[in-house]
């Protein structure tokens, strides 16, 4: 989408609103002859035929809205069955249907960005996020279409009012234009941590069968290795989890806090500190905690916490945890209370599944970002207005919301007599999920209380709320273009050393860390740090801090 086309599109919508005439979107009067020209036209018939529920928006042309989602596409047939029913509803309401394009987990970091920047004009709705899906970077690179307030009010009115009521449009703006819609009306905790078995932790001698600090995991893993035949303490797919361990240890044993949105490659490298929140640095370069982390990972490797070829393994530790052949898995708090705990109670009765979250011992955990889930419109979308209309229904209309999130009632889920979400007899989350992975517009107002979820969910969330800090930089926009070459060079060095350090494969980790640090400095560490600090100083000044 060229800039000129974007300006033309936005001006057309604004002009139509000013003159208060009926709007006609999606190619002008329903014609597909010029799909990128979305200038509005006035309907003179006085009839609402072909319009969306009498609004005057022309929906006479049937459109296929393609949404990019993350995850492995289900193969159980449930997704296709759900979409068939959802698309009947979408066709009736706005004469559109939804198609899902998956970026699968194998090499997803690379493939996601390639997909967005490929110029593919078949994409419309994009699942994005400012923390893990590079929303700001892709905004700066022109992947998303700017969304005027008039456009949002017209084509996604319920969403606009909800986000506006929360005061959250500002956290979605770049150069004073809105580029995505936050998933800001949905409660979730996305902080990471380790899932483990409380029964085995108790056998290992941990008080109350509880891991209360990072180092407790050593005793837990060692006990499993020595006492549970056929079980790998943590059968981690190291091929896809190469950077998290060192960062997890640093988070749990220092006051460093990740500066979201400026990863070096796939690594959360840049940070601030709790006692110095406006100074940018990196614990990988400027703190000794990483030495202790690497030494511990070497110890874990020697214990046999993971398989010897961990860096080439890409299996599923979660399914192994359910099967009793792995003693651990790691992911979000929400994954724990909505999946791990209830599934383990069924699949491994008496396992007393628990979670230790990174930063638990020093209360170094952030509250979730409202843009951890977000929706954008592709800059190359042929019919962005209809895409917004579909999104508005998925987010706010009960029938469509239940289809995309839960599936078909009676087959994929049931409603209990007391109004809770439940599942048919024999339903298995591991094999029977619909798997639409709609992570960009969930809504607490329409969420069903899940009878499958762990009963302690609310208490866990309350406990996290009591200790977690507010992330203070949602409006911080970093100039990535100025440091792209240096960041890429730093990322290359990190990819050479971090996987080996994280899984204890170096004989002398301190020597390798020092070697890595010198290479990172040579790659432009000080240049990047100075540039990020300049952005931070501007942010601090503009925020009145």
Question: Would you call 356 helix, strand, or coil by DSSP?
Answer: strand
CATH of residue 99's domain is: 3.40.190.10
Structural domain range at position 87: 62-187+368-453
Verify that 172 and 81 share a domain, yes or no: yes
DSSP code at position 378: B
pLDDT at 242: 62
Question: Would you call 280 helix, strand, or coil by DSSP?
Answer: strand
User: Considering the domain boundaries, does residue 437 fall inside one?
Assistant: yes
User: Considering the domain boundaries, does residue 171 fall inside one?
Assistant: yes
Question: Would you say 31 and 63 are in contact if contact means Cβ atoms under 8 Å apart?
Answer: no
Verify that 72 and 146 share a domain, yes or no: yes
Element (H, E) at 108: helix 108-116
User: Considering the domain boundaries, does residue 275 fall inside one?
Assistant: no
Question: Would you say 145 and 381 are in contact if contact means Cβ atoms under 8 Å apart?
Answer: yes
Question: Would you call 391 helix, strand, or coil by DSSP?
Answer: helix
Residue positions counted in the chain: 545
User: Considering the domain boundaries, does residue 67 fall inside one?
Assistant: yes
* Strand ordering across the sheet containing 192-197: 328-332, 192-197, 353-357
* Strand ordering across the sheet containing 271-273: 256-258, 271-273, 276-281
pLDDT at 46: 31
Verify that 33 and 140 share a domain, yes or no: no
For 216-279, give the secondary structure using H, E and C: HHHHHHHHHHHHCCCCECCCCCCCCCCCHHHHHHHHHCCCEEECCCCCECCECCCEEECCEEEE
Verify that 38 and 83 share a domain, yes or no: no
What tokens appear for 259 in the block?
């500066």
User: Considering the domain boundaries, does residue 429 fall inside one?
Assistant: yes
User: Considering the domain boundaries, does residue 19 fall inside one?
Assistant: yes
User: Considering the domain boundaries, does residue 299 fall inside one?
Assistant: no
Q: Give the residue from 15, 14, 23 showing the smallest Cα distance to 41.
A: 23
Last residue of a domain, one of 402, 419, 453: 453
DSSP assignments along 131-150, one per residue: SSS-HHHHHHTT-B--B-HH
Verify that 56 and 92 share a domain, yes or no: no
Question: Would you say 267 and 258 are in contact if contact means Cβ atoms under 8 Å apart?
Answer: no
Element (H, E) at 33: none
Cα separation, 522 vs 511, whole angstroms? 17
Verify that 389 and 446 share a domain, yes or no: yes
DSSP assignments along 452-518, one per residue: TS-TTHHHHHHHHHHHPBPPS-TT-----GGGHHHHHHHHHHHHHHHHHHHTT--SSHHHHHHHHHH
Catalogue the long-range contacts made by 526-534 (C-beta closer than 8 Å, 24 or more residues apart).
Answer: 527/483, 527/486, 528/270, 528/483, 528/486, 528/487, 528/490, 529/270, 529/280, 529/281, 529/282, 531/479, 531/482, 531/483, 532/259, 532/262, 532/270, 532/280, 532/478, 532/483, 533/279, 533/280
pLDDT at 51: 63
> 């999104």: which residue's tokens?
391
Question: Would you say 373 and 440 are in contact if contact means Cβ atoms under 8 Å apart?
Answer: yes
Verify that 383 and 410 share a domain, yes or no: yes
**What total of structural domains would you count in the chain?**
2
Verify that 393 and 423 share a domain, yes or no: yes
Last residue of a domain, one of 429, 453, 477: 453
Verify that 66 and 56 share a domain, yes or no: no
pLDDT at 42: 29
Question: How far separated are the first and last CA of the chain, in Å rounded?
Answer: 38
Backbone φ and ψ for 279, nearest 5 degrees, come out as -115, 125
Verify that 73 and 161 share a domain, yes or no: yes
What tokens appear for 241 in the block?
């989890």
Verify that 85 and 3 share a domain, yes or no: no
For 80-104, give the secondary structure using H, E and C: HHHHHHHHHHHHHHHCEEEEEEEEC
pLDDT at 1: 41
Verify that 19 and 78 share a domain, yes or no: no
DSSP code at position 127: E
Per-residue pLDDT for the chain (545 aa), expressed as one digit of tens each?
A: 434 344 434 434 333 333 333 333 333 333 333 333 333 332 322 334 356 655 679 999 999 999 999 999 999 999 999 999 999 999 999 999 999 999 999 889 889 999 999 999 999 999 999 988 989 889 989 999 999 999 999 999 999 999 999 999 999 999 999 999 999 999 989 999 999 999 999 999 999 999 999 999 999 999 999 999 999 999 999 876 666 899 999 999 999 999 988 889 889 999 999 999 999 999 999 999 999 999 999 999 999 999 999 999 989 999 999 999 999 999 999 999 999 999 999 999 999 999 999 999 999 999 989 999 999 999 999 999 999 999 999 999 999 999 999 999 999 999 999 999 999 999 998 899 999 999 999 999 999 988 877 889 999 999 999 999 999 998 888 888 899 999 999 999 999 999 999 999 999 999 999 999 999 999 999 999 999 999 999 999 988 76
Cα separation, 313 vs 333, whole angstroms? 24
CA atoms in the 13 A half-sphere facing the CB of 243 = 13
User: Considering the domain boundaries, does residue 413 fall inside one?
Assistant: yes
Cα separation, 431 vs 429, whole angstroms? 6
Catalogue the long-range contacts made by 346-350 (C-beta closer than 8 Å, 24 or more residues apart).
Answer: 347/322, 347/323, 348/197, 348/322, 348/324, 350/199
pLDDT at 227: 98
pLDDT at 81: 98
Last residue of a domain, one of 453, 474, 503: 453
Element (H, E) at 70: strand 63-70
Cα separation, 327 vs 308, whole angstroms? 16
Contacts of 437 (CB under 8 A, 6+ apart): 69, 70, 71, 102, 127
Question: Would you say 420 and 449 are in contact if contact means Cβ atoms under 8 Å apart?
Answer: yes
């Amino acid at each position: 989408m060229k800039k000129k086309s974007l300006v033309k599109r936005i001006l057309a919508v604004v002009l139509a609103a000013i003159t208060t005439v009926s709007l006609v979107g999606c190619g002008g009067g329903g014609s597909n002859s010029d799909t990128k020209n979305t200038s509005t036209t006035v309907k003179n018939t006085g009839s609402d035929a072909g319009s969306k529920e009498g609004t005057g928006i022309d929906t006479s042309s049937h459109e296929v809205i393609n949404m990019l989602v993350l995850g492995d596409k289900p193969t159980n047939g449930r997704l296709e069955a759900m979409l068939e029913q959802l698309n009947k509803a979408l066709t009736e309401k706005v004469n559109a249907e939804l198609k899902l394009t998956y970026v699968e987990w194998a090499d997803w970091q690379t493939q996601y960005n390639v997909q967005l920047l490929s110029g593919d004009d078949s994409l419309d709705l994009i699942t994005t996020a400012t923390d893990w899906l590079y929303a700001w970077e892709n905004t700066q690179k022109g992947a998303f279409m700017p969304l005027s307030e008039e456009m949002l009010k017209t084509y996604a009115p319920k969403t606009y009012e909800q986000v506006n009521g929360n005061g959250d449009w500002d956290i979605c703006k770049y150069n004073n234009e809105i580029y995505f819609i936050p998933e800001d009306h949905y409660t979730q905790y996305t902080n990471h941590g380790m899932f483990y078995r409380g029964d085995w932790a108790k056998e290992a001698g941990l008080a109350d069968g509880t891991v209360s600090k990072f180092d407790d995991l050593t005793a837990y893993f060692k006990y499993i290795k020595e006492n549970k035949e056929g079980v790998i303490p943590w059968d981690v797919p190291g091929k896809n989890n190469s950077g998290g361990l060192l960062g997890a240890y640093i988070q749990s044993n220092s006051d460093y806090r990740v500066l979201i949105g400026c990863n070096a490659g796939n690594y959360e490298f840049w940070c601030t500190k709790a006692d110095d929140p406006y100074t940018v640095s990196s614990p990988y370069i400027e703190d000794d905690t990483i030495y202790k982390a690497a030494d511990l990972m070497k110890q874990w490797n020697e214990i046999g916490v993971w398989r010897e070829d961990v860096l080439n393994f890409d299996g599923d530790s979660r399914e192994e945890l359910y099967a009793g052949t792995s003693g651990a898995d790691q992911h979000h708090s929400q994954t724990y209370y909505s999946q791990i705990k209830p599934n383990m109670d069924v699949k491994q009765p008496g396992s007393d599944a628990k979670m230790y979250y990174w930063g638990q011992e020093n209360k170094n955990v952030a509250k979730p970002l409202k843009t951890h889930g977000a929706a954008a419109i592709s800059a190359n979308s042929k019919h962005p207005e209809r895409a917004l209309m579909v999104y508005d229904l998925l987010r706010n209309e009960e029938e469509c919301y239940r289809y995309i999130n839960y599936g078909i009632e009676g087959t994929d889920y049931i409603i209990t007599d007391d109004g809770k979400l439940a599942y048919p007899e024999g339903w298995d989350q591991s094999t029977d999920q619909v798997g639409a992975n709609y992570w960009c517009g969930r809504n607490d107002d329409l969420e069903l209380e899940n009878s499958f979820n762990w009963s302690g969910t609310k208490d866990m969330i309350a406990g996290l709320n009591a200790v977690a800090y507010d992330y203070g930089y949602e409006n911080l926009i970093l100039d990535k273009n100025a440091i792209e070459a240096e960041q890429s060079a730093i990322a290359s060095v990190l990819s050479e050393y971090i996987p080996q350090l994280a899984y204890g494969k170096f004989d002398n980790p301190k020597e390798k860390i020092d070697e890595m640090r010198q290479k990172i400095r040579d790659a432009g560490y000080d240049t990047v740090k100075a540039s990020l600090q300049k952005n931070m100083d501007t942010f601090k000044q503009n925020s009145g801090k």
